[in-house]
Amino acid sequence: GQNIDQPTEMTATEGAIVQINCTYQTSGFNGLFWYQQHAGEAPTFLSYNVLDGLEEKGRFSSFLSRSKGYSYLLLKELQMKDSASYLCAVRDTNTGKLIFGQGTTLQVKP
């Protein structure tokens, strides 16, 4: 079966660092994606990992361990505008469809 788990909610302080974890068990794997979704808006692409290791992009980094079925998204120097839902998704090997977790709602407090 397909199963992607991430925490439902997290809270962090402006200026701090937060790590959002995602674990997955899927029948196929062709990359792991992180998307950001503000309330009432479309998901926007943040990062993509297909090989093990860390991908860094400005204040955002994403890590993947395929052997452990584990990824995390690291957000540094948090800003109030980072308050949003963060969606972890695994891409299917055959069709490219994305299998999403439930999303993690991050609240950044002053």
Partner 1 sequence: GAGVSQSPSNKVTEKGKDVELRCDPISGHTALYWYRQSLGQGLEFLIYFQGNSAPDKSGLPSDRFSAERTGGSVSTLTIQRTQQEDSAVYLCASSSSGTEKTQYFGPGTRLLVL
User: Cα–Cα–Cα angle for 77, 107, 66, nearest 5°?
Assistant: 70
Token digits of residue 37: 């979704």
Q: Do 13 and 109 form a contact (C-beta atoms < 8 A)?
A: yes
42 binding partner 1? (CB under 8 A)? yes
Q: Which string of x and - marks every residue 79-108 that binds partner 1 (by CB under 8 A)? A: --------x-x-xxxxxxxxxxxxx-----
Task: Using CB under 8 A, pick the residue from 41, 52, 56, 77 that binds partner 1.
Answer: 41
Token digits of residue 7: 């925490």
> What is the distance in angstroms between the CA of the first residue and the CA of the last residue of the chain?
41
The length of the chain, given as a count of residues = 110
48 binding partner 1? (CB under 8 A)? yes
74 binding partner 1? (CB under 8 A)? no
58 binding partner 1? (CB under 8 A)? no
- Segment near partner 1 (CB under 8 A); pick from 12-20, 37-45, 59-67, 72-80: 37-45
